[in-house]
Amino acid sequence: MADNNIFLFVPNLIGYARVVLGVASLYFMPTNYVLAAWCYILSGFLDAFDGYAARALNQSTKFGAMLDMLTDRCATMCLLATLGTFYPSYLFVFQIVMVVDISCHWIHLHTSNVLGKTSHKNVGEEENALLRFYYTSRPFLFFMCAGNELFYSMLYLLHFTYGWTLLGMSLIKVLVILLFPVAVLKVVLAIMQGGSAWRDLGYIDIKEREEAEKKQ
């Protein structure tokens, strides 16, 4: 029985640690940017290890997958809300990014469950090639997720400090500039993901109505 106690599976224990680090990051976010950034980035860094642990130890669970996704979405949403207060002239942009991130991931997960997929990361051959590559290439998926989170983290730090400089340039500002395309592409991928999910959900409705008509 102990072996089946999924609440104590290693990847889920890592997930709990990520939640604690995330909450700590939010607590320090308005006042202590060093602690807030370290907690946030460490929580994101552990995201790579819970998936690896789940596969290596054969401890993949629906509970863990949901915990992982909600931790990611909530952390990003709260960071974007903070950035909206730090950069009020870009508040609308941050709001749109939040709406896209939450809504597209939610409808994608919901549609995956309706279709009976074992994972929301399973994509069919009919999907867009870029979206398929995003979910099937772990290095690319990691690069996109890490780059996206690092962009917003550096934007957060830039509100407080320019950090180290090299040749008179702020390394934090350089990272913000370099990672900006990654953040934009992440939004585009989320929109593609959401659009695909809405399409599939619509096809489910059509199929169910056609089957109901045949029974009449």
141 CB burial (10 A radius; 0-12, 13-18, 19+): middle
Report the DSSP beta bridge partners of residue 165: 170
d(CA 48, CA 52): 7
- Residue 166's region, left for phi above 0, alpha for psi from -120 to 50, else beta, is beta
Q: Which of 204, 187, 188, 189 is nearest to 113 (CA)?
A: 204
Asked about 72 being catalytic, the answer comes back as: yes
The counts of H helices and E strands in the chain are 7, 2
Catalytic choice (72, 101, 200, 205): 72
Which residues are catalytic, by number? 72
